Structure 1
Amino acid sequence: MQYEPTLSRAELVKFATQTYFGNVDAKNMEATLDCFHDEALFCVQTAFTRHAGKAEIRRMFEDFFGAYETIIHRDFTCTVDEKNGRITACFVAELHDADGNVTLLNNTNFWRLRPGPGGAKFQEVYVYMSGANVLT
């Protein structure tokens, strides 16, 4: 199903790379969750995991935020389908744990946004991860 577009190309890129990943990197739980519709679906395709709804997505992020001292998403290359409110990004995820270990992942995310109260938010997120799944 397609939704009426509400964001421009620049707004879609900003929402995904700055609003969403900016809040993930800052470990700002409420602002991160505010990027999702209540019944959103978050799938890590390369690990066959699925998180349905904000409660499951919150639990996933609680574990992720707790596992790493520093989270950095960088070097984005975005492709946008402005007409249908979809965006994909290839990027590097750099994760530092408390023991000083660094995990580097080359990931690709596919997002589908839909309008709603408070603006467009993620309805579906599909993640392809180059290494072990860190979003369990």
Structure 2
Amino acid sequence: MQYEPVLTRDELIDFALNRYFARVDAKDMDAVLGCFHDTALFCVQTAFTRHSGKAEIRRMFEDFFGAYETIIHRDFTCTVDAANGRITASFTAELHDVGGKVTLLNNTNFWRLRRGEAGGADGPRFQEVYVYMSGANVLV
């Protein structure tokens, strides 16, 4: 299913990198969850895991934020389909745990955005997220 266009190419990139990933790196739970519709679906395709709805997505991020002292997403390459509200980003995830161990992952995320409810008053948000991860799933 396609969604109506909601953001321009530059706005989609800004949403993914600055509104979403920057808030993930800052461990700002409220801002991260604000990027998702209540009924959003978050799947890690390479691990066959699925988180459906904000409560499950919140729990996933609580565990992720608790497992790593520092989270850095960097070196982005984005591909955008603004006409259908889609964006893809390939990037490096650099994760530092409390013991000093560093995990590097080369990931690709695919997002579908759609307008908010009530005529879009709450702005576009992620409806679907599909993650392809190069190593063990850190989003369980």
CA distance in 1, matches of 2:51, 2:6: 25
Amino acid corresponding to residue 101 of structure 1 in structure 2: K
For residues 67-97 of structure 1, what are the alpha-carbon distances to aligned partners after superposition, in whole Å with 9 as ceiling and x for unaligned?
A: 0000000000000001000000000000000
Per the alignment, residue 133 of structure 1 pairs with: 137
Cα deviation for residue 118 of structure 1 reads 1.2
Cα deviation for residue 2 of structure 1 reads 1.4
Contact 2:6–2:113 under 8 Å retained in 1:
no
What is the root-mean-square deviation in Å for CA atoms of aligned residues? 0.5
Amino acid corresponding to residue 126 of structure 1 in structure 2: Y
Task: Please list every run of 5 or more consecutive structure 1 residues that lacks an aligned counterpart in the other structure.
Answer: none
Q: Percent identity?
A: 79
2:138 is paired with a residue whose SS is coil
Per the alignment, residue 73 of structure 1 pairs with: 73
Per the alignment, residue 52 of structure 1 pairs with: 52
Amino acid corresponding to residue 25 of structure 2 in structure 1: D
CA distance in 1, matches of 2:3, 2:135: 33
* Corresponding position: 1:124 with 2:128: yes
Which residues of 2 match residues 24-63 of structure 1 at below 5 A? 24-63=24-63
CA distance in 1, matches of 2:21, 2:53: 19
Contact 2:113–2:124 under 8 Å retained in 1:
yes
Amino acid corresponding to residue 125 of structure 1 in structure 2: V
* Corresponding position: 1:19 with 2:19: yes
CA distance in 1, matches of 2:18, 2:103: 21
CA distance in 1, matches of 2:4, 2:137: 33
CA distance in 2, matches of 1:113, 1:89: 14
* Corresponding position: 1:98 with 2:102: no
Amino acid corresponding to residue 92 of structure 2 in structure 1: V
Could you state the TM-score of these two structures normalised by the residue count of structure 2? 0.96
Number of positions where the alignment pairs a residue of Structure 1 with one of Structure 2: 136
Could you state the TM-score of these two structures normalised by the residue count of structure 1? 0.99
Contact 2:3–2:114 under 8 Å retained in 1:
yes
Amino acid corresponding to residue 28 of structure 1 in structure 2: D
